[in-house]
Chain A
């Protein structure tokens, strides 16, 4: 008898070259568990481009296509169209890109694919910087973070800008389904992917995945940090289905932003006042999200 809360099938092999405690590998593992064998993955330049190892090593049990940094959306559209032309409809076409390849460099091709209404999955595993090339700031890096391009030394040049909200951008496209997910909540993530399988059209997932190397977190705290991000409301779990918001996980205990920051070296330079300011912004966006859920649900015609 097995005591499992997520599917047992494994489509990712061990022996890959991800860092200790890598959150991106967990994101891929859960994605394949939910989508199964009939899946084609497309990966641009990102951490996952090096995780399978040096050629001719492979680590996935499903086909994987490497593309250039900015074309994930175009590549998945092409694969989908080619399959449809051949009359193959039961294959999940997945674009799997990091936050740099999605929110910065790949946003135009993603926007195009979503606008055309291609029947694809797009998964953005968000490790909040360009980790593969050495921790450079991306538009998905949160406010307050240290990176190698927002350094903190004599000059305190930590990132002053807010994190880009990709789910809002996707919702503004009128996408049929978009959701946030976290590696610390695999059941929630898999449920959202199962839901996506039933929907025709583009599906976008923003998956929070810890990077112990870049966030200066101890590798064993990788999942714990991701859980604290959700509990502290820094990264709320919700979905937007045809414009209707739905919060899928209500944090049960009060966790402050300070507690979430305390496990990470990239925030250790922040003063009490700066953390309080970020706490206020987090509280405000959480309040707005709850209002959005109430308001959008009131629009449903009975």
Chain B
């Protein structure tokens, strides 16, 4: 028997909650969001999930039919690419300490 087996990495990195790196928290304003998913497309984590259309309210009926983006704050490092790329600028970067109150 092999006493020292070949090292194979088996633990998913999801056990590492990188949300603690964050200084600025991206907050999606869903009433302005057009659900184009550009934020999802450019997230380097990826920490933006696609959730069902009904979960969030939208003003426009056509937009309300589309699945919505949702940020997973367990993993978001707060790089701000989503806020920078958003075509309607509906993502605010909020200083974390302010949210703490």
Residues of A within 8 A of B (CB): 1-6, 8, 10, 12-18, 20-23, 25-26, 29, 52-53, 55-59, 64, 186, 212, 218-224
Residues of B within 8 A of A (CB): 7-18, 21, 35-37, 40-42, 44-47, 50, 53, 65-67, 72, 74-75, 77-81, 83-85, 93
Which of A3, A29, A55, A57 is close to B67, meaning CB atoms less than 8 Å apart? A3
Contact (Cβ within 8 A) A220 B45: no
- Set of chain B residues within 8 Å of A52, measured between Cβ atoms: 9, 13
Contact (Cβ within 8 A) B66 A2: yes
Contact (Cβ within 8 A) A15 B46: no
What are 16 A-to-B residue pairs whose CB atoms are below 8 Å? A8-B50, A14-B72, A14-B75, A15-B14, A15-B45, A15-B75, A16-B13, A16-B45, A25-B45, A29-B44, A52-B13, A58-B11, A64-B9, A186-B41, A220-B81, A224-B84
- Set of chain B residues within 8 Å of A15, measured between Cβ atoms: 12-18, 45, 75
Contact (Cβ within 8 A) A223 B67: no
Q: How far is the CA of A64 from the CA of B13 in the complex (A)?
A: 14
Q: How far is the CA of A55 from the CA of B8 in the complex (A)?
A: 8
Contact (Cβ within 8 A) B84 A56: no
| Chain A interface helix/strand/loop/mixed | loop
Which of A20, A57, A218 is close to B16, meaning CB atoms less than 8 Å apart? A57
Contact (Cβ within 8 A) B81 A12: no
